[in-house]
Amino acid sequence: MSTMRLDIVTAEKLVYSDDVSSVNAPGVAGQLGILPNHAPLLTSLMPGELRVVKEGEETNIAVSGGFLEVLRNVVTVLVDTAERAEDIDVERAEAALKRAQDKLDSSESDLDLEKAIQALKRSQSRVYVSKRKRSSAARSKTRQ
Ligand code: ATP
């Protein structure tokens, strides 16, 4: 089965590096599906879920904004932050989501709207990725 290389990099670390069979990423214009031998591409990413399939197994990663490049069968994802679903502290993400919502609801005159919106999107995607993974793990457990 054909594969492509995927490297997910943040300023802090290399989060993922492996040969995979598909990548689904949150592009600015919607979810973006990438298969091996994809044409060269450079696009911006928004906070959301990045799904990777390797040997039939799906890995779910919450990413914040950044870029995705496809070149010569190598997909490089450069993002501010990236966490695998199992590494997400959902309580922390829910607290961050509440803080961002409260900020946006407040009438603070010095509110940095763009910063608050970005914090809201990051925390929403962490909560979504973590909970979705938990519910699919629970479903496969009840099937066993
Ligand atoms: P918080 O207010 O909870 O710090 P944040 O959105 O401001 O959230 P970031 O600045 O995006 O946090 O991330 C800082 C670091 O913490 C990054 O390394 C990121 O991967 C990690 N991180 C942030 N939130 C979580 C979380 N809920 N679970 C696990 N790691 C997290």
For residue 97, report the distance from its CA to the centre of ligand 1, in Å: 11
For residue 3, report the distance from its CA to the centre of ligand 1, in Å: 31
User: What residues does ligand 1 touch, defined as CB less than 6 Å away?
Assistant: 12, 64, 81, 83, 87-89, 92-93, 96, 119, 122-123, 126
Mean pLDDT split into 10-residue runs, the chain, 144 residues: 95 96 96 97 97 97 97 98 97 97 89 93 97 78 68
> Which ligand 1 atom sits nearest the alpha carbon of residue 119?
6
For residue 67, report the distance from its CA to the centre of ligand 1, in Å: 19
Task: Give the 3-state secondary structure of residue 129.
Answer: helix
Prediction pTM value:
0.93
Q: Which of 126, 125, 100, 121 is nearest to 112 (CA)?
A: 100
CB 10 within 8 Å of CB 80: yes
Going from N- to C-terminal start, the domains of the chain cover 4-85, 89-143
| pLDDT for position 132 | 84
| pLDDT for position 110 | 87
**Nearest CA owner, ligand 1 atom 17:** 81
Burial bucket for residue 42 (CB in 10 Å: 0-12, 13-18, 19+): exposed
For residue 22, report the distance from its CA to the centre of ligand 1, in Å: 26
Burial bucket for residue 109 (CB in 10 Å: 0-12, 13-18, 19+): exposed
Say which CATH architecture domain 4-85 belongs to: Sandwich (2.60)
| pLDDT for position 139 | 76
Residue range 89-143, CATH number: 1.20.5.440
> Which ligand 1 atom sits nearest the alpha carbon of residue 83?
20
